[in-house]
Amino acid sequence: MLGLLVLLNTHKGSEDVARLADDLDLEIDEILPSLEYAEVLKLVTVSDGRASFTELGKRFVGSSIRERKAIIRDQLYRTALFKTLMRALEGAPDHTLSDEQLTSIVSFTTAPADEAVQNIVNWGRYAELFRYDATEHRLIARRRPPPSRAPPNRPPPPGAPAGAGPGSVSVRGGGGAGSSGHASATPALPERMALA
C-alpha cells in the first residue's frame, strides 16, 4: 500500500487505476487490495476507476516515517476490528493475546484465519500499536507512560526513592520480542474494517 501511495504521488495525487497497475507491472486485481485498504484508511478515494488522494492522503505522503505511523495508528484505531482487538489486548490480565485468541477475535472475517492474523500483526506492528513475540506467538501491548502533569523541573516529593520524579517510569522487561516472520504488509481485511 505504501508503495502504491508513493506512486500515486508521482502522478500528482490522481490517476487511473489501470495506469497505476501498468506502472507497477501488475494486473489491476493485484493492486486492488492495497487500494481498497488505503480507501478504508481514508487516504484515497476511488471513483470511476480513478484513485485520488484525500487531504489526509496528501498529508501522509508528505510526512516523516514517524508521522506516517501516527496517521496509520489513528486510522486503525477508527476501525471496528482494531478497536475490538485493542480493547481485548488492553483488557487481558497480562496485556497479551495468543495467536489463538487473536484468531478467535477475527473469526467473523471471511479471510483465512492465518492470513488475517499475519496482516493484523504486520499493520499493528508498523503503527506501533503492539509488539509481537514470534517465539511465544503472542501480541504484547505497548506500554506508554501517561503524560506527566507536573512541571518538567519539579523536584521529587519528600520521601520519594532516589531517581523518582517526573518522567521516571518503572518498565517491566519484555525480552524475546521478535518479528512475525512474514513479509506481507498489505492486509486482506478492509471490507471487515469499516470505520466506526
102 by Cβ neighbours in 10 Å (0-12 / 13-18 / 19+) ranks as: buried
Q: Are residues 16 and 53 in the same domain?
A: yes
- Residue 13 within a domain: yes
pLDDT-wise least confident of 11-20, 32-41, 91-100, 144-153: 144-153
- Residue 48 within a domain: yes
Q: Are residues 71 and 35 in the same domain?
A: no
Tens of pLDDT along 127-169?
Answer: 998 999 889 889 898 865 344 344 444 444 444 444 433 333 3
- Residue 115 within a domain: yes
Q: Are residues 24 and 120 in the same domain?
A: no
Tens of pLDDT along 79-96?
Answer: 888 888 888 888 998 999
Number of separate helices (H) and strands (E) present in the chain: 8, 6
The residue segments making up the domain with residue 97 are 65-143+176-192
User: Over the range 142-164, which residues count as b (16 or more CB within 10 Å of their CB) and which as e?
Assistant: eeeeeeeeeeeeeeeeeeeeeee
129 by Cβ neighbours in 10 Å (0-12 / 13-18 / 19+) ranks as: buried
How far is the C-alpha of 123 from the C-alpha of 191, rounded, in Å?
Answer: 16
Q: Give pTM, 2 decimals.
A: 0.66
Q: Are residues 31 and 127 in the same domain?
A: no
Query: Domain count of the chain?
Result: 2
Q: Are residues 26 and 48 in the same domain?
A: yes
Q: Are residues 47 and 123 in the same domain?
A: no
How far is the C-alpha of 135 from the C-alpha of 116, rounded, in Å?
Answer: 19
Q: Are residues 52 and 74 in the same domain?
A: no
- Residue 164 within a domain: no
Residue 21 has, within 13 A of its CA and on its CB side, a CA count of 15
Q: Which residue has the higher pLDDT, 104 or 71?
A: 71
60 by Cβ neighbours in 10 Å (0-12 / 13-18 / 19+) ranks as: buried
pLDDT-wise least confident of 8-12, 51-55, 136-140, 185-189: 185-189
Q: Which of 61, 92, 112 is the last residue of a domain?
A: 61
Average pLDDT over residues 107-125: 73
Q: Are residues 56 and 17 in the same domain?
A: yes
Give the best-scoring range by mean pLDDT among 5-19, 141-155, 165-179.
5-19
Q: Show the beta-strand stretches assigned E in the chain.
A: 14-16, 44-47, 50-53, 96-98, 130-133, 138-141
Q: Are residues 125 and 186 in the same domain?
A: yes
Q: CATH number for the domain including 25?
A: 1.10.10.10
Q: Are residues 50 and 7 in the same domain?
A: yes
Q: Are residues 95 and 182 in the same domain?
A: yes
Q: Are residues 94 and 180 in the same domain?
A: yes
